[in-house]
Amino acid sequence: MPRVEEFDAFYASTSENVLRVVYAVTGDRAVARDATIDAYRHAWRDWDKIRDQEPHRYVRVEAWKAQAVTRGTHPLRRRHEEDSDTELLDALAELSPDDRRLLVLLTIGATDLEAAAREIGVGDEEAIELVTTAITALEQSTGQSIDQLERRLTGLGEITSQLPMPEAAELRDRATRGHRFNTIAVVAASILAIVLGGAVLTEGDALSPLPAQSYRQQLGAERPDLVLDAQRLSTDNLLTTAQVSDLTGDASTWTIDETDQDADAAEPLTICAEERFATQDPLKVFVRTFDAAPAPSATPTDQPADQPAAPATTERVAQSIEVARDPAAAAAAYQRATAWFAQCEVPRLQLTGTYRATGSLGDVLLMRLVEHGQTDRTLTVGLGSSGTVTSTVVHETDAAEPPTIDDFAAMVSASFQQICSDSGGECDDDLTVTPADPPPLAEDPGFLGVIDLPAITGISSVWGRAEAEDTATNPAATACDLADFGAAGGTASTRIFLLPEAQGLAKTFGLVETVGTFETAEAATSFVDQVQASVNSCPQNNLAASVVEASTFGEVSDFRGATWTLTLQVESGDPVTVRSAIVQRGASVAQVLFTPSGATDMPAETFAAVAQRATERLAYAVPAG
């Protein structure tokens, strides 16, 4: 069945049930409808990934995330459910979120216990305890049996059946709009690489992170009449233990785990990668993985003998060389691999840095990502493409100190230089590593993304975001600046980030970003100067406000930022602490506001890093007009 028809059939057969489940969980028909539509938009964008992996479950989970974000985005929304079973909805609302979801999934969701438990993120035994508790509480609050309650739950369909849902074609169209900018950029980059040969985009162009440079300018400065000869490549072009050992200085700790050339292998080499290879129908592939012997854990002399030692660190390197059938396919593979890591959706994973390794060898993209957990896992990724070849190198470790970017870049450079040399390129080992803008996000690339946000200490939940919306007001402004983009001649839109499944947080907790664009950089500079002056002078003009911390970054007027920690005294209650930032890049400006919840906060230096990333994202902001 064609992809579109397959999705449309899935939407037609499941949307009614999903809407009913979300309505039972939320008790708000508007929230349920919005969340369900948003979930199916995500499903269409990810259809190739999820079509064979429980798409029904995917949609329910996305809807649950979306409803939490929607409630946070519109905290003043009031429910109007007088014509529904309000007694049942209120009784369900008194259950904990996990209990409520589990009970609904097992009744009107037509989901078995094992699948429902997996969706909630608990084991089977814990799920049995939770649902038993939920049923008992619901029976006591309503005075009815579970059979009677299940019929009432099914009856909620009378409400959801009246809610207008978009046609599948309309839903797919809206889901696709966020990708158009990226798609046009990729196609333009591929055509430019093929037709113009040695052309290079000028520095500072919004498309510069994309593989728009001629393939002759990458990995090797190839002769004008030369395309990489795939037949010359072999496993000899893969990294060796000696090269990998440069990361640790001890070759004896590294061993080759596997080397293969199976183009039909399906298992991804690392997290974030959605498939084993980014190249569609590759001509050749070469893969090698390395493992480092676990470093022995030092045991303090005063540690009790029966106390377990700290777990040994693990370290791994994976490399792939993929040979496409033409340069355009290789350019597309490079873009696909870049998107896997730059838009990775692994929970609690943060993109902490992006770099370019540049020299006679060409332009190599480097990314540093951290998967936050009880023990953080750090991924360092190197991506390069030349002619018909794309190569990826990934280093993973849970050590406290991962390799430096310079050391990793040197290893990747040595690997890519060998590919270039053995293919007839004119290469040398000159290398310069510099910070770079992150690759653009697929949706609203001028805004921060979930992947840019840090984990919050003590909170295991993951960030969720609302879609960016045009706004006449600026919810990221503070009482100290009251920044008004519109009054200053700009146009603005806003996005809100929340931790939707976190418990015990204040309703005000979250991060909001407003992105505005002006007709000129001078107008943006004037606006930012005004905001900075207002905040810095706030304590003199407003006795209820104080600036606790302040910092700035950036050396030029059109690429800069300022951050503050402000304490505001409200009419009743304890003082409120917020973190605020204003950043500028050319004619684009972003204001970021983070509101902690008690001790649940992010340090000032962490917030400053978020503000710095907001400045980098402005490279992709759509100009005013």
Domain span including residue 41: 3-165
pLDDT value of position 71: 47
pLDDT value of position 429: 62
pLDDT value of position 592: 97
**Burial of 425 from C-beta contacts in 10 A (0-12 / 13-18 / 19+):** buried
pLDDT band at 96 (very low <50, low <70, confident <90, very high): confident
Residue 523: is its pLDDT beyond 90? yes
Look at 230 and 408; give whichever has higher pLDDT.
Answer: 408
Distance separating alpha carbons of residues 501 and 306, to the nearest angstrom? 38
Do residues 470 and 539 share a domain? yes
Residue 559 lies in a domain: yes
In angstroms, what CA-CA distances link 574 with 103, 160, 175, 504, 598? 39, 42, 43, 17, 10
* Average pLDDT across the chain, whole number: 80
Do residues 149 and 180 share a domain? no
Residue 342 lies in a domain: yes
Distance separating alpha carbons of residues 544 and 546, to the nearest angstrom? 7
Domain stops at, among 105, 132, 165: 165
In sequence order, the β-bridge partners of residue 433 are 357
Residue 258 lies in a domain: yes
Domain stops at, among 405, 435, 465: 435
CATH number, domain containing residue 88: 1.20.140.160
Do residues 135 and 221 share a domain? no
Residue 303 lies in a domain: no
Residue 299 lies in a domain: no
Do residues 184 and 124 share a domain? no
pLDDT band at 416 (very low <50, low <70, confident <90, very high): confident
pLDDT value of position 4: 84
Do residues 83 and 185 share a domain? no
What lies within 8 Å, CB to CB, of 255 at 6+ separation is 241, 290, 291, 293
Do residues 233 and 86 share a domain? no
pLDDT band at 197 (very low <50, low <70, confident <90, very high): very low
Mean pLDDT of the region 87-116: 82
Residue 346: is its pLDDT beyond 70? yes
Least confident range of 235-249, 267-281, 599-613: 235-249
pLDDT digits (tens, 9 = 90+) for 261-303: 999 998 999 999 999 999 999 989 999 999 988 755 544 555 5
Residue 245 lies in a domain: yes
Do residues 120 and 227 share a domain? no
Residue 3: is its pLDDT beyond 60? yes
User: What does R_g of the chain's alpha carbons equal in angstroms?
Assistant: 27
Main-chain dihedrals φ then ψ at residue 8, nearest 5 degrees: -60, -40
Residue 603: is its pLDDT beyond 80? yes
Residue 306 lies in a domain: no
What lies within 8 Å, CB to CB, of 541 at 6+ separation is none
Main-chain dihedrals φ then ψ at residue 323, nearest 5 degrees: -105, 115
Look at 409 and 126; give whichever has higher pLDDT.
Answer: 409
CATH number, domain containing residue 379: 3.40.1000.70
pLDDT band at 75 (very low <50, low <70, confident <90, very high): very low
Residue 213: is its pLDDT beyond 50? no
Domain stops at, among 143, 165, 187: 165
Do residues 239 and 352 share a domain? yes
Domain count, the chain: 3
Considering only CA atoms, which of 279, 293, 285 is closest in space to residue 262?
285
pLDDT value of position 98: 80
Do residues 128 and 217 share a domain? no
CATH number, domain containing residue 583: 3.40.1000
**Burial of 554 from C-beta contacts in 10 A (0-12 / 13-18 / 19+):** middle
Look at 177 and 417; give whichever has higher pLDDT.
Answer: 417
Do residues 322 and 354 share a domain? yes
Residue 298 lies in a domain: no
Do residues 268 and 333 share a domain? yes
pLDDT band at 259 (very low <50, low <70, confident <90, very high): very high
Do residues 466 and 343 share a domain? no
